[in-house]
Every structure is written in C-alpha cells, then in structure tokens.
Amino acid sequence: MNAPQKPDNLQAPHTNAAWHARRLAATPRGVGVMGDFFIDRAKNAEFWDIEGRRFIDFAGGIAVLNTGHVHPKVQAAIAAQLQRFTHSCYQVVPYTEYVALAERINAIVPIEGPAKTAFFSTGAEAVENAIKIARSSTGRSGVIAFGAAFHGRSLFAVSLTGKVQPYKAGFGPFPPEIYHVPFPCHCASLDETKKAMDHVFKCDIEPSRVAAIIFEPVQGEGGFNPIQQEAVLWLRQLCDQHGILLIADEVQTGFARTGKMFAMEHYGAKPDLITMAKSMAGGTTLSAVSGRQAVMDGPAPGGLGGTYAGNPLAIAASHAVLDVMAEERLPERAQVLGDRLVAHLKAHQAQQPRIADVRGLGAMVAAEFVDAKGAPDAELTKRIQAAALKRGLLLLTCGVYGNVIRFLFPLTIEDSVFAEGLGILDTALAEAFA
C-alpha cells in the first residue's frame, strides 16, 4: 500500500490555475464547482483567494453564513470547546450543551405547544429524519412535496426535490410513495395546487395513507419563490382534516434570513415539524428537526441520531450564533438590508424590462431575468454573474431555468461593504445589458 503523501503537496505551485488542474484530476466531476479560484482567508462578508484577490461575498456559502465568516464570538466558542473535547457520540456519552441547545431552540421555534429537538449533521439528514419521524408517528408512508423544491442530495431527500437537473438525473429509481404538486407562489396559483392535490388523492394515494406534506416557506434552489400566505393556511387546514403532518423545511430560510428567526413566523400557521441547518452553526456541520412533543417521540430509542449528530464543536458554535443573532438583532438587520436591496433592484427593473421580477422575504431576495420575448434567459443571468465575479462580487444563480440571481450576503455585512457590492452589481448589470 502506498504511504499517505506528506503535507508538502499543499505547497507550490500555489496558484489558482495549478490547483484548478489538480482539482479536475483528483476529484469527480459530479462535485460541481462554480469558481476556478481557491479561498485562503475570510472576514465577515469578504474573502481573499490564494493569490490575494479580494471578493465581496453575496453567496454566504449558500445561506450558511448569516453571522459572517469567522465571527469572533463563534470562533471563540469553537476554540473553547476544542480545548475540552471534540467527540463522544451523544448517543454513547451525552453532553449538557446538546440538551441546553435543544431547550433554546424549543423555546423559539414556531411549533404549537411544547416542542422537542433532535440534532443531526446536514440539511438532507434533517429532512430524511423528519420524514422518518412523520412516518413513525402516523404509521403512514406517503409523502407529498412540491415542484421546484430542493430538500437535499441524499437519495430520499433528492426524491423529494422537484428539480431534475442536476440533482436527480441518472440517480433513479427513487423511493416510492412520493408525490409532487405545483408550488403555490408567483408561478402557480393556489387553485392549480388544489386541483393537483385533489388529483393525487383521487388517483395516486388516499389521504389516510399520507404521513406528511413538506414545503419550503421560500423555495431556495427553485428560484427564491415565497409561498402564498393563503396556501400555508390551506395546507394547515388540509393536514388537520386528514391527520397529515405539515413539515416546514427551513434549512435555508431559518435563523434570521427572512427578517424573522424562522420564515414560518410570517405566515400565521404553525407546522408540526421544522427542519433547520445551514446558518444555525456559523459554518460548522449541524442540523436539527424540531416538532411537537408527541410527534417527535414517535420513533423508538435508537431510531434517531448518528455518530456525528450534534457534534460538540457545532453545538458550541450554534449557542454562539443564537447569542449573536439576539445581541446584534440580525432578524431586524435582515429586513433592513432586504428592503434596501429590493428597492435597488426595483429601480433597475423600472428601467430594464429584462428584469422580469424582484421577489423575496426579508434578506432572502432574488431577481429573475428574461430575454426580449419574455422567456427565461439563463445566458444573460450567467453573464451578470460572471461580470460581477470579474469585479470581485460573488453571486449565486438558482431557479428551474437557471435565470434567477439570489442574494445571500451575511446579515452582519458592514454598510460600506454592502454599498460597494451594490455598486459592483450595477456595473455588472450595465455590462450584461449592453
């Protein structure tokens, strides 16, 4: 057996081009990478690559960095925990911080009545375990999700996902008894959703065999599509009528992004289960499922968990994140920044008809681009993204047609850096539209 290479393989040539070539040779194409440069260090809403170039981060690691890169309080919490212990497996030797964090989250999640929380490592894990909990609690098997949804890349989570490319292509067959209906947002009416749901109940599965309906309050990868408020109330009523559990996937919307700690706080209805991850732990790997006590206690002992689930370093980070969000009033900050961005984008929209829509909730904002005939324009969207990146602004695209730019800057971003980012965006838009 060949001996492992020494760390000197991290040395010269230390350039983006050299490392890009090494990446292509060493890692599979299925792990798609947007940039051809490599991060070296970061602070709040800025990072620098290995060649010293500075970037403003309007991507936030895909909504993971609501508290910014290496927030000092999060960094200090991880460092302190690192000196005590890094792992015991909570299911073998528990630790008090896990319980204390569950108590803190139980106190703030928009769940009717007493709540319980279990921790995992990734958003996909949280989603899969929410389905396990729903099935165990109800004794039913069917699950209904929505078109354009994104719930993760693991086999069951991707089965719930309502977007084929690149997430589902080539990975089937998928688990049975998963059904999709149109998502009631700006692109589908609630009447369409109701008709599709009725069709599912009449042609595919009776309501008495449906364990759960899962939805994102604002679809992330699907295009930053906020669900209609009336639709949430209808879903709640439908679930109550048939004994179905309502699951809110707040992996991307949770932890202050939408102007509330959880997006469901905007909608006037409470789910039975909530999944969360991403920004709950400042860039460390932590996810959770919270829900009504009776529902959460459905699985038998040993049915939930994982070797790394609720890792002590991530738990420590999450405690610090909650502190920062309260001390720095990040939900309120999200609303302020989101309002500024929406106003800025709408000013462009008033002058440019190829900006078809500006939408979002709080600081979860997106702009949708079309061609001269009104059709989705993915190429224009890519040009805007590339023009911004060339000038040091990192943006992400999304949407079923790839024609939406989404904004996920840290909520801790300095006003001056935010303004600088908007200035770069203006230049990128002008170049792409020229």
Q: How far is CA 387 from CA 51, 174, 400, 428, in A?
A: 20, 39, 22, 5
Q: What tokens appear for 24 in the block?
A: 């292509």
pLDDT higher than 60, residue 206? yes
Q: What share of the chain has pLDDT > 90, as a percent? A: 92
pLDDT at 188: 84
pLDDT in tens, 327-373: 999 999 999 999 999 999 999 999 999 999 999 999 999 999 999 99
> Is the predicted pLDDT of residue 2 greater than 70, yes or no?
no
pLDDT at 162: 87
pLDDT of residue 241: 98
- Both tokens of residue 430? 């002008």
Cα-based distances in Å from 106 to 89, 103, 176, 417: 22, 5, 32, 35
DSSP one-letter code for 392: T
Kindly state the average pLDDT of the residues 228-251: 98
Residue 1 has pLDDT above 60, yes or no: no
How many Cβ atoms from other residues are within 10 Å of residue 121's Cβ? 20
Could you give the CA distance from residue 135 to residue 210 in angstroms, rounded to a whole number? 9
Helix, strand, coil percent content, the chain, rounded in steps of 5:
40, 20, 40
Residue 4: is its pLDDT beyond 70? no
Instruction: Show the domains of the chain with their CATH numbers.
Output: 13-70+329-433 (3.90.1150.10), 75-327 (3.40.640.10)
* In contact, 363 and 258? CB cutoff 8 Å: yes
pLDDT value for 7: 60
Using CA atoms, how far apart are residues 147 and 285, in angstroms rounded to an integer? 27
pLDDT at 311: 97
pLDDT digits (tens, 9 = 90+) for 250-303: 999 999 999 999 999 999 999 999 999 999 999 999 999 999 999 999 999 999
pLDDT one-digit tens code per residue, 31-84: 999 999 999 999 999 999 999 999 999 999 999 999 999 999 999 999 999 999
Q: Identify the three-state secondary structure at position 67.
A: coil
- Distance between CA atoms of residues 419 and 9, nearest Å: 40
User: How much is the pLDDT for 3?
Assistant: 61
Residue 67: which of 363, 266, 421 has the closest Cα? 363
CA dist 81 and 307 (Å) reads 18
Q: Which residues contact 331 (CB under 8 A, 6 or more apart)?
A: 256, 259, 260, 261, 325, 362
Sign, Cα dihedral of 2, 3, 4, 10: negative
pLDDT confidence of residue 163: 83
Q: How confident is the model at residue 235 (pLDDT cuts 50, 70, 90)?
A: very high
Q: What is the number of alpha carbons within 13 Å of residue 187 lying toward its C-beta?
A: 21
Q: What's the chain's average pLDDT?
A: 96
